[in-house]
Structure 1
Amino acid sequence: MTDKRKTVALWIFTLGVFMSALDNGIISAALTTINSSFDVTEIQGAWGITLYTLGMAITTPIVGKLADRYGRKKLFLVEISIFALGSLLVALSPSFIWFLAARVVQSIGGGGIFIIASSFVLTVYPKEKQGRLLGMLGAVNGIASVVGPNIGSLILNATNQWHWLFTINLPIAILLVIFGIKWIDETKNPETKPLDLLGSMLLSFAIFSLMFALTNLDGAHLLASLATPSVFLWLALSFLTFTLLVKLEKSNQTKDVDSILNYDLLANKQFLLTLLMGLLSGMLIAIFVYIPSYVEHHLGVPANQAGVWMSGIGLASIVGAGMGGMLVDKLGAVKTVVVASLLSSLGFFSLAFFSHSLGWFLACSSVTGLGFGMLMGAPLSVLASKAAGKEKGSALGMLSVSRQVGLTIAPIVYASLIQTGFNQLPSKLLQVSDTSAVQQILKNNTTENMLLALLKLPDASLRESLVTAFKEVAGQAYGHMFILSGGISVVILLAAFSLGKKQSTTR
């Protein structure tokens, strides 16, 4: 493969990674609009995100193995085609059930794109270039979720229809297929072992069980809901299934099987810490889906313009990703994670307590984006690659899965926190005015519809008082989400310190 063909092929893969990750962020620009159009609650609406990330988490390692066996070019083109079909089905959704099913189809297509692109880098580029390029793919994967709301808002403002958010994928997918056929050379492993079908099924069921258990949690009565059969039984099933998976992969070491997970990596404590940080970073990605709703509900920006206010986070994330790559070269990956998590925790806690105006929001969110961008770029990919030795492909696949698991479980947790906070809304509004008009507004079953009804009240004085009360409740509801994300950033910081100590003692 010539240098020109390698470069063009890498850009095609990178655009594919950006497109598949973009759908996590672009949907946030219209999340409240979509929920309202299907007349579903915030928690029900979160399934549109959860099913997408769940499908990606399950398909990532499986498609990675299939690409190694049957060809990365072939599987990339198949994945892009399935993703385009899913996007078209989402855009044509006549009902919420159809919408959810279409998101699953999308996820099957989007799940393998990142791991195929990473495998391409590991296959055709020399070792001295792999770390930088893998970091670039990781940064694109994370940043796409942040800039998505900006793109979504532009499309929403231009069309006033959320369906167009997904049709934008179709021309991109067509171009990727055309250029992929022309410029990507086929690569695959020369020798392939039998597929680990049982391991793939166990991994899929373990992830699904965990997600289903967390979906059944009641944010208002968290401890009590943990004791309910619909939660603890599924958690137990997830734990049992994953335990069986680990034992299976251990036994596969002596067999002629292409294991879905590498047991040696699972037994590596440094690599497990990296996976933990990957999972937590995935949870941080998920919060950006809800920030446009925060801007609308707490800061009073119209729904079709809320995503535009993600510009500070988006630009800062791009700058942070570049800085993260430079810091890895100068300070090392662990110290870069420390700096990134410090900035991220500062930004999230600031959003929880200080962003009560659009100016303060831009400042706080920019700090958040800077730390987030550093974390999403090179450091975790470099840490995973170093811990893996010769098993870089498996390590990056597992890191990608851990991020997707975090992305899968986090939206339900965040949505529960937000809805729990909004449970205070009826009493707050009734304190302002216990009139029949307010009673009628409270009959709406979604937060978005309540806000729209409040904005339509003819009495200007009453409308202003009620909207102010709504914004106050919204600030508290979303504040809980930001506090949790700040805490997650602190845990990443502690994990980085622990990893640094382990590395120093093994030298």
Structure 2
Amino acid sequence: MAQEVSTPPTSPAPGEGLPHRSVLVAIGALLLGMLLAALDQTIVSTALPTIVSELGGMEHLSWVVTAYLLASTAATPLWGKLGDQYGRKKLFQAAIVLFLIGSALCGIAQDMPQLIAFRAVQGLGGGGLMVLSMAIVGDIVPPRERGRYQGLFGAVFGATSILGPLLGGLFTQHLSWRWVFYINLPVGVVALFVIAAVLHIPVRATRHTIDYLGTFLIASVATCLVLVASLGGTTWEWGSWQIIGLAVLGAVLLVWFLRVERRAAEPVLPLKLFRIRTFTLVSVISFVVGFAMFGAMTYLPTFLQVVRGVSPTMSGVHMLPMVLGMLLTSTASGQIVSRTGRWKVFPVAGTAITALGLVLLHRMKESSSDAEMSVYFFVFGAGLGLVMQVLVLVVQNAVAYEDLGVATSGATFFRSIGASFGVAIFGTVFTSRLTSKLEAALAGQEVPPGASADRIAADPRAITDLPPALRPDVLHAYATSITDVFLYAAPVVLVAFLLAWVLKEDRLRGSVTAPDTSQTLASNPVERSSYEECARALSVLGSREGRKAVYERITERAGLDLLPAASWLLLRVRRHGAVEPARLADTTPVPIRAVTEAARQLEERRLVRRVGLQLVLTDEGVTVATRLAHAREESLAELLGDWWGPQRPTDLVQLVEQLTAELCGSSRERPRTAEPRRNHVAHTR
């Protein structure tokens, strides 16, 4: 018979000792922080045509988006590890302050170079908001509840994807494009004060060797290459010494980065991951998905506002079918894969449909109807959504446990870099074609003084100064310059389609579940440890607890002849030491009749006895409950597949044990009068 032992005191578990109301308020503040960072990835797009008209610099339009993406991507791993070392609360507050400073500066920018520089400052803060808000959830919420709360963050991303273009259009049309940035200030101040007042995080410092040099070098390489892509052929000729110098500098920095990463104790991007064929292929496909997604989202508002003449607000409405297509297929594909274990069809179909969507976008004309464009937008978004969820699943399934966290963020990292390249290259092609087509449209025509091709390209509002007879040709030049870009992007996506066929469809581990939307719609990687990623996945599976089939399975596994509800009740008595059946029925979704029948069976089998209104375990009940708990633990461990090998990491063992304990009952079920016997645990490990 197992003996009762007392466990030594340990540091408080996540969420232990925190009032439920305080947790909810803190989660609300974290959601506000996440909302700020997520919104600024999409809210700017519909304001860009107006920004360019006021500040000039159409050739630099792409950098308003690219500067934010590059800065937030580079900052993400630093924020994550600094938070581990110095405490996430102070770092999160610092990220909010930095983000707000960047927002205020963007709002007062007087020219395009200033705006681009201030967007980079904003991106540095945004990277911290993304990674730290997700990590703090792990500090204040038990693993069992983590899946539910992280689902809220996914919902925020889904909402901002829709609200961003709409709000950007509303502010631009009815206030000023500067309010796209000013709106962050009141929201950020509220989040700052709430975090200061209610967020109390237990100190769990984790020492890391931060790869500062590697982070700087990878950001520098990306910046050099994006500069080549965006400035080549427009600002400078492709053969100019500036472009050649940038390309050579990027190559030198890349070689230096590879040397540094081989020696780094904790590399920002472990090179050993590229020995895994699946990771390498997924990285390339992720790059292409980001390339197509953000490139199109940046230039579609220009088509709608300049060519179709719709308001900034309505341009956001027109883009809703694309976002809805992404959300629908992303959610559906993730759920189907998690249930069936088959995934290869989705990246293949997704890249094919995305390429088809780009071809359809190329077909848009000045005369295209709203219904026709909505169909094109939906097809394009649906294709992207089919790919995004699945790529994260595939990477998680392909790597060892110790690389789970960095591989997960690595897949998003390459999509973020791809987004930067997509915006830059789309911008380069658009700008170079626009100027030449405008010159052809105006050649030999009588135009008002100052209405040159360069001025019209820099400020779309100049089109209204043209004679009515000239406007159709100028609008056609704008339309074809934008839609040609989509055609040129289609072959790039077809490369990803071919690579998707080469992916090997390995069997999914049971713990690989559909990630939350923040991992698939976010442009910058949210760095998580392997422990945190496993906790999220197992919590999603554990949140299905309470289903009859689960307790039938563990009862059979333990070799017992009990009602599923009786096994459920016995584990809760073991968890709390004493349980009042009527109170249990009030605090759980199990009907009172099922609880009563379960209690009667346990009493008849002499596994529990009554002490007043409460049930407590008998000696035989302790033994049976321990067998059930181990069956529950083994069923969780099975989900981990080969990660649960003979050399399984200690933190993974602790996670399974903690989840097993939590899934046997929650704190809300504790008896009113008797103290729960927390240490009434039989250890056989």
State the TM bucket, normalised to the shorter chain. Answer: 0.7 to 0.9
1:394 to 406, 426, 444: 406
Is the contact between residue 172 and residue 180 of structure 2 (CA under 8 Å) also seen in structure 1? Answer: yes
**Partner amino acid for 1:24?**
Q
- Cα offset, 1:359, TM superposition: 2.2
Is the contact between residue 44 and residue 165 of structure 2 (CA under 8 Å) also seen in structure 1? Answer: yes
Give the alignment of 1:95-114 within 5 angstroms. Answer: 95-114=111-130
Query: What does residue 484 of structure 2 align with?
Result: 480
Gaps of 5+ in 2: 1-13, 509-641, 643-685
- Cα offset, 1:37, TM superposition: 1.2
Query: What does residue 250 of structure 1 align with?
Result: 262
1:24 to 29, 41, 60: 41
Q: Which moved more, 1:228-237 or 1:356-365?
A: 228-237
Is the contact between residue 48 and residue 103 of structure 1 (CA under 8 Å) also seen in structure 2? Answer: yes
Q: Decide whether aligned partners of structure 1 residues 73 and 265 sit closer, same or farther in structure 2, where only a CA change above 3 A counts.
A: farther
Q: Distance in 2 between matches of 1:183 and 1:478?
A: 49
Identity %: 23
Q: Which moved more, 1:29-38 or 1:317-326?
A: 317-326
**Partner amino acid for 1:320?**
T
Residue 411 (structure 1) aligned with residue 420 (structure 2): no
Query: What does residue 298 of structure 1 align with?
Result: 307
Q: Decide whether aligned partners of structure 1 residues 245 and 351 sit closer, same or farther in structure 2, where only a CA change above 3 A counts.
A: same
Give the alignment of 1:338-353 within 5 angstroms. Answer: 338-353=348-363
Secondary structure at 2:213 match in 1 = helix
Query: What does residue 206 of structure 1 align with?
Result: 221
Query: What does residue 196 of structure 1 align with?
Result: 211
Q: Distance in 1 between matches of 2:113 and 2:214?
A: 30
Q: Which has the higher helix share?
A: 1
Report Cα offsets for 1:203-248 as digits up to 9, x if no partner.
2322222222223321699xx71x4432343233323323332332
- Cα offset, 1:92, TM superposition: 1.8
- Cα offset, 1:110, TM superposition: 0.6
Residue 435 (structure 1) aligned with residue 446 (structure 2): yes
Q: Decide whether aligned partners of structure 1 residues 59 and 169 sit closer, same or farther in structure 2, where only a CA change above 3 A counts.
A: same
Q: CA RMSD in A?
A: 3.3
Q: Distance in 1 between matches of 2:349 and 2:284?
A: 17
- Cα offset, 1:145, TM superposition: 5.2
Query: What does residue 393 of structure 2 align with?
Result: 382
Query: What does residue 337 of structure 2 align with?
Result: 328
Q: Distance in 1 between matches of 2:141 and 2:394?
A: 19
**Partner amino acid for 1:277?**
I
- Cα offset, 1:134, TM superposition: 7.3
Q: Distance in 1 between matches of 2:154 and 2:246?
A: 31
Residue 497 (structure 1) aligned with residue 497 (structure 2): no
Q: How many positions carry a matched residue from both structures? A: 487
**Partner amino acid for 1:498?**
V
- Cα offset, 1:274, TM superposition: 2.0
Q: Distance in 2 between matches of 1:500 and 1:171?
A: 49
Query: What does residue 84 of structure 1 align with?
Result: 100
Q: Distance in 2 between matches of 1:477 and 1:228?
A: 25
1:55 to 68, 71, 76: 71
Is the contact between residue 286 and residue 407 of structure 1 (CA under 8 Å) also seen in structure 2? Answer: yes
**Partner amino acid for 2:479?**
G
Residue 369 (structure 1) aligned with residue 381 (structure 2): yes
Q: Decide whether aligned partners of structure 1 residues 154 and 317 sit closer, same or farther in structure 2, where only a CA change above 3 A counts.
A: farther
Give the alignment of 1:211-222 within 5 angstroms. Answer: 211-218=226-233
Is the contact between residue 206 and residue 241 of structure 1 (CA under 8 Å) also seen in structure 2? Answer: yes
Higher Cα Rg, which structure: 2
**TM-score calculated relative to the size of structure 1:** 0.84
Query: What does residue 52 of structure 2 align with?
Result: 35
Secondary structure at 1:248 match in 2 = helix
Is the contact between residue 79 and residue 91 of structure 2 (CA under 8 Å) also seen in structure 1? Answer: yes
Q: Distance in 2 between matches of 1:170 and 1:105?
A: 15
- Cα offset, 1:289, TM superposition: 1.4
Q: Distance in 2 between matches of 1:144 and 1:353?
A: 28
Is the contact between residue 12 and residue 176 of structure 1 (CA under 8 Å) also seen in structure 2? Answer: yes
Query: What does residue 81 of structure 2 align with?
Result: 65
Q: Decide whether aligned partners of structure 1 residues 201 and 39 sit closer, same or farther in structure 2, where only a CA change above 3 A counts.
A: closer
Q: Distance in 2 between matches of 1:135 and 1:141?
A: 10
Q: Distance in 2 between matches of 1:299 and 1:196?
A: 48
Q: Decide whether aligned partners of structure 1 residues 178 and 275 sit closer, same or farther in structure 2, where only a CA change above 3 A counts.
A: farther
Q: Distance in 1 between matches of 2:41 and 2:479?
A: 23
Q: Distance in 1 between matches of 2:105 and 2:34?
A: 20
